[in-house]
């Protein structure tokens, strides 16, 4: 379960910011129009996406923030990915490439039992306000360089993707719940998103782009306690930013 939250707004309708993407009847909205449910069965998954593209912001979700159509193509993408309901969450970053910057964590709670806040604030990634990952970048090489959208989905990965593990269809259907659908972001008017780098947006100021000493300590403990895989520890996926 995930939240998309703007602290200045209270449970807006998903129709205010998002639109149906795929899934047919596996995409559902409750009668109060305050919650979206995405269902996975052995016929289909489902998904929705933001109506607008953005150049920067603070996103609360368990979704992808992406501007590509395929995880195998060159594009920019920031991910929270859940492997079923076993408590494993993987984060990933695509830098106009095919990604492979996975860092996985075994959560100290069952994510299927209650709503939690999964935030991507460039930077960091955090869960329930505790930072778990920072991906280093510089003002000379800002991220992203093009508009991106927010996307949420539930789906069954292809058989060659061994790491998520097989689906036990005896427990189907699987349903992901989303509520609180607003977020703070700079809407990207065109392909040129330089104005979204402005420090007039609070999330671009040093207070938010750099971790405080408290957050650094929190992240150090969280990573030492819960991280179960780091691409920087794998010679086949090591990237130059790992030296930072």
**What's the CA gap between 90 and 183, in Å, rounded?**
22
- C-alpha of 110 from chain center: 18
User: Whole-angstrom Cα distance, residue 201 to residue 182?
Assistant: 16
Catalytic: which of 81, 102, 195, 215?
A: 81
CB count within 10 Å of CB 156 equals 17
- Determine whether 77 is an active site residue: yes
35 counts as catalytic: no
For residue 53 the two structure tokens come to 């593209």
Give dist(CA 74, CA 2) in Å, integer: 27
Outline where DSSP puts E strands in 15-87.
18-22, 27-29, 35-40, 46-50, 54-60, 64-66, 75-82
Tokens for 8, please give them.
């200045």
226, two tokens: 């819960």
**Options 35, 77, 119, 151, the catalytic residue:** 77
Catalytic residues: 77, 81
């Amino acid at each position: 379960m995930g939240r998309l939250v703007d602290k200045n707004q209270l449970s807006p309708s998903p129709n205010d910011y998002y639109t149906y993407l795929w899934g047919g009847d596996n995409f559902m909205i409750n009668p109060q129009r305050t919650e979206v449910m995405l269902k996975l069965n052995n016929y289909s998954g489902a998904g929705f996406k933001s109506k607008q593209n953005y150049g920067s912001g603070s996103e609360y979700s368990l979704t992808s923030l992406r501007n590509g159509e395929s995880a195998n193509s060159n594009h920019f993408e920031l991910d929270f990915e859940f492997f079923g309901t076993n408590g494993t969450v993987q984060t990933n970053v695509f830098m106009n490439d095919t990604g492979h910057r996975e860092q996985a964590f075994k959560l100290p709670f069952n994510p299927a039992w209650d709503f939690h806040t999964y935030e991507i604030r460039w930077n960091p990634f955090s869960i329930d306000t505790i930072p778990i990952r920072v991906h280093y970048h510089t003002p000379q090489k800002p991220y992203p360089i093009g508009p991106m959208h927010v996307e949420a989905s539930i789906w069954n990965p292809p058989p060659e993707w061994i790491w998520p593990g097989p689906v036990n269809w005896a427990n189907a259907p699987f349903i992901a719940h989303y509520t609180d659908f607003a977020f703070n972001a700079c809407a990207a008017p065109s392909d040129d998103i330089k104005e979204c780098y402005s420090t007039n947006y609070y999330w671009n100021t040093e207070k938010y782009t750099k971790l405080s000493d408290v957050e650094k300590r929190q992240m150090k403990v969280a990573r030492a306690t819960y991280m179960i895989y780091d691409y920087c520890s794998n010679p086949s996926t090591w990237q130059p930013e790992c030296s930072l």
